[in-house]
Structure 1
Amino acid sequence: MVIEVISMNVAKIKERIADAAIKAGRKPEEIKIVAATKTRTLEEMIAVAKSGVYAIGENRVQEAMAKKNSWPEDVRIPWHFIGTLQRNKARKAIDIFDCIQSVNSSTLADTLQRIAKEKNKKLECMVEVNISGEESKQGVDPGDVEALVEHVLNDCDCLKLIGLMGMAPLTEKEFEIRRSFALLRELCSKLEESLQIRLPELSMGMSDDFEYAIMEGSTMVRIGTALFGPRR
């Protein structure tokens, strides 16, 4: 029963993604779904992984480790860390995840670099930017993004920077939500131009606002409630 419900929800989300993409003059296949699976059961996670999402997204290292240890070998899917990463959890995170979306300081970048080098691993990462301006949100200040990106590019050869990640403010006002997403898109474009690099991924948009994010250029939406229903 779980897999049927989740499969239906994934199909509905893909339809909404397609509609938003077409409205924005984009191709629906440009947008990937990261299933936000914090507190979800292993059964739910396996179901969503088999239903055609791009990646599993976890917020807590300890919770993710317990799930990964029980994960069936025949279900292959990338695992992304989408929460706030404490440096003392970095070693475990590198063992679990294929991508860390929430690099928000040079100190964290250096820690990941050192451990990845020890493990001879190339780790995908994204720089998290505080685009909402809210103190409760994590992420580097927009004015400090370029310095952090340069640090990762120049001093962290075991980290493969693939893009930027951000969260919109907690509001129902479309203008404010879209403005924050547009800020991340513009920052990404400026970085590509000034540093002569390619940052293909923009991870922005969640269950309540992913359509706005797609209209503003998101390539990766982090969806939890709309896939699984309210958290228990």
Structure 2
Amino acid sequence: MTTTATLLDRYALVRDRIAEAARRSGRTERDIILVAVTKHADPTQIRVLLEAGHRDLGENKVQQLQQRVALVDEYLDRLRVLSGTRDAREKSADVLGEARGPSALPAPVRWHMIGHLQRNKAKKVVECCRLVHSIDSLRLAEEIQSVALRRDQVVDVLLQVNCSGEDQKHGCPPAAAGALAEQIDTMVNLRVRGLMTMAADTRADQDAAQGEAATRAAFSRCRDLFEDVARLRLGGGAFNLLSMGMSSDFEIAIEE
């Protein structure tokens, strides 16, 4: 069982590795958003991250996303009930890393949908998420636009691109990304914020150097594509997010 101290040590280590990778690439840690995926975390571990000031949480399955959102909302609501309005504002702000003070309101957790999304689950995701990372087709974008329109809501989205070339990976082909992004940008309730990609799965017959080279190539390809699409001035000028890297390769993603 992971103790609170161990979890906080691991969290600090990841943040240190992010900062070091950012320095190697001539950037700062503030340029990087760490999304903590909660699928294997228990409620106590999620609360520990909240108390450490972390606000960006992600899920790759819709049912788990709904459960985690409800869990976090209940936790923050309980702070308000137990502590009273003013104390709750201060404690919730402290939990979420915001400025304290009598006028401070609890900053919301930013939920990210990072997994493949089916059109019939679009409504549930729009209700929960701050950013949808996995838009990979016009039909899916149209469904989310329809849901967002009914809710009178603007949804931030990333276009998922298959930069590894693997058949089993979701995502639109790189050659189609610009045109698809332009089509999505015409939807008044969607805002295209950037691109997302996943590196190739490491094969059993690859050595470490080959695997790293393949990973770096996929991330580099996505970064180049991101720069090309950014010239289209999509998302009202807010096309500025590149979602890459998981626990095994996030440093390479930052460097690229």
Range class of TM-score, shorter chain: 0.7 to 0.9
Q: Which amino acid aligns with 1:150?
A: E
Match of 1:36 in 2: 37
3-state SS of the aligned residue for 1:144? helix
C-alpha displacement of 1:9: 1.2
The structure whose Rg is larger is 2
Superimposed CA distance per residue, residues 72-99 of structure 1 (whole angstroms, 9 cap, x where no aligned partner): 2246310000001111111111111111
2:133 is aligned with 1:101: yes
TM-score by length of 2: 0.79
Q: Which amino acid aligns with 1:64?
A: L
3-state SS of the aligned residue for 1:180? helix
Match of 2:61 in 1: 60
2:25 is aligned with 1:18: no
Tell me the distance in 1 between the aligned counterparts of 2:115 and 2:175.
Answer: 22
Change (3 A) 1:52 1:135: farther
2:209 is aligned with 1:208: no
Tell me the distance in 1 between the aligned counterparts of 2:5 and 2:155.
Answer: 34
More helix by share: 2
Q: Which runs of 5+ in 2 are unaligned?
A: 77-91, 97-107, 203-207
3-state SS of the aligned residue for 1:161? strand
- Pick 1 or 2: higher relative contact order, CA cutoff 8 A, min separation 6: 1
Match of 1:164 in 2: 195
Tell me the distance in 2 between the aligned counterparts of 1:24 and 1:70.
Answer: 37
Match of 1:179 in 2: 217
3-state SS of the aligned residue for 1:70? helix
Q: Which runs of 4+ in 1 moved over 6 A?
A: none
Change (3 A) 1:43 1:106: same
TM-score by length of 1: 0.87
C-alpha displacement of 1:208: 0.7
Superposition pairs of residues 182-201 of structure 1, within 5 angstroms: 182-193=220-231, 195-197=232-234, 198=237, 199-201=239-241
Tell me the distance in 2 between the aligned counterparts of 1:205 and 1:54.
Answer: 18
Tell me the distance in 2 between the aligned counterparts of 1:160 and 1:214.
Answer: 24
**Residue of structure 2 aligned with 1:142, choices 157, 174, 191:** 174
Q: Which runs of 5+ in 1 are unaligned?
A: 217-232
Tell me the distance in 2 between the aligned counterparts of 1:93 and 1:142.
Answer: 25
RMSD between aligned residues: 1.5
More strand by share: 1
